[in-house]
Amino acid sequence: MPAVRLLAAAGALAALLAAAMPAPAAASETWWQPAGLAGKTVTRVAPAPGGGVVAVLDDGSAWRTSDGARFTPSPPPPPAAGSTAAGVGWTIRGGTVYANSAPDPGAPALGSYAHLIAAVGATPGAVIAVSDSGVVWRRKPSGRWDPSLLLLPSTLVTGVPEVTSLAAFSAPHVSTVVYLGTRGYGTLLSSDGGDDWVRADSGLPADVFGLAADSGSDPPAVWAATSGGLYVHRLQPLPSVPSYADRALLVKWALTVLVCIAATGAAAFALRRWTA
């Protein structure tokens, strides 16, 4: 059928054009890199005193590392007790958010099983917390709380992925980013205190059981405990905006204009030749 042939030809042309597109710069390196314990289920990861992290496997053993290459046996870390930043310790007790010892006014009731909370050191007063129903809340430095993120079911017949972990850098001047780990959606991150979220699971297995932000390493890093081992993302400075000398820009624009004139001319020639 002519329509089928036309569609096949067009599909081939589209594939050729797509292949001709310059590959995105990020394709060569994923956001997350494997950091040891490959193939093992890492159920928890927590910052270690003095730098690095301690990773706990599903067999109960715990291993300390600071570079993801060398691992030494370690006592398991104590259970997470909230998040401290800018001199304020944030915890959840009985569904209530506490700032140091006092309930935070305006905080929502998160449910009696809620325990995930992260405070951003670079933005004093900015806090992310997760209710036991899975709603992600964010607190602005002004003290106002708002529901920030509601995860959706993966399909109509499956449930909503569980939020398993939060991580933020407690030290000031490191990063405003907060990472959120899920069982099914990998990780998401927010760099503006929970107003906007971005999928940040490139290179990571879908099931993330724990996250830890390590301010002490150089560069600072975020570690992820997953069903496929330990992963790490090392913070990098943002690339500087390229600046072109005026003369170089002028040449590039001149070339572009020439390309456009040539393309238009070729098309006009084809139209004149084959449509008359």
Q: How far is the CB of 215 from another protein (least distance, A)?
A: 22
Q: Phi then psi for 9, rounded to 5 degrees?
A: -65, -40
Within 8 A by CB and 6+ apart from 169, the residues are 120, 121, 122, 175, 177, 213, 215, 220
Which of residues 84 and 140 has its CB atom nearest to another protein in the complex?
A: 140
Draw the binding track, 29-58, toward another protein (x: CB under 8 A; -: no contact). Answer: --x---------------------------
Is residue 154 involved in binding another protein (CB under 8 A)?
yes
Contact indicator for 181, 208 with CB cutoff of 8 Å: yes
Is residue 209 involved in binding another protein (CB under 8 A)?
no
Number of Cβ atoms within 10 Å of the Cβ of 14: 10
Is residue 113 involved in binding another protein (CB under 8 A)?
no
- In the three-class reduction of DSSP (H, G, I as helix; E, B as strand; rest coil), residue 62 is classed as strand
Give bridge partners of residue 64 from the DSSP assignment: 54, 72
Draw the binding track, 235-274, toward another protein (x: CB under 8 A; -: no contact). Answer: -------x-x----x--xx-xxx-xx-xxx-xxx-xxx-x
Q: How far is Cα 30 from Cα 76, in angstroms, rounded to an integer?
A: 29
Is residue 133 involved in binding another protein (CB under 8 A)?
no
Give bridge partners of residue 263 from the DSSP assignment: none
Positions that interact with another protein (CB under 8 A): 2-3, 6-7, 10-11, 13-14, 17-22, 24, 26, 31, 138, 146-156, 184-185, 188, 194-200, 202, 206, 242, 244, 249, 252-253, 255-257, 259-260, 262-264, 266-268, 270-272, 274-276
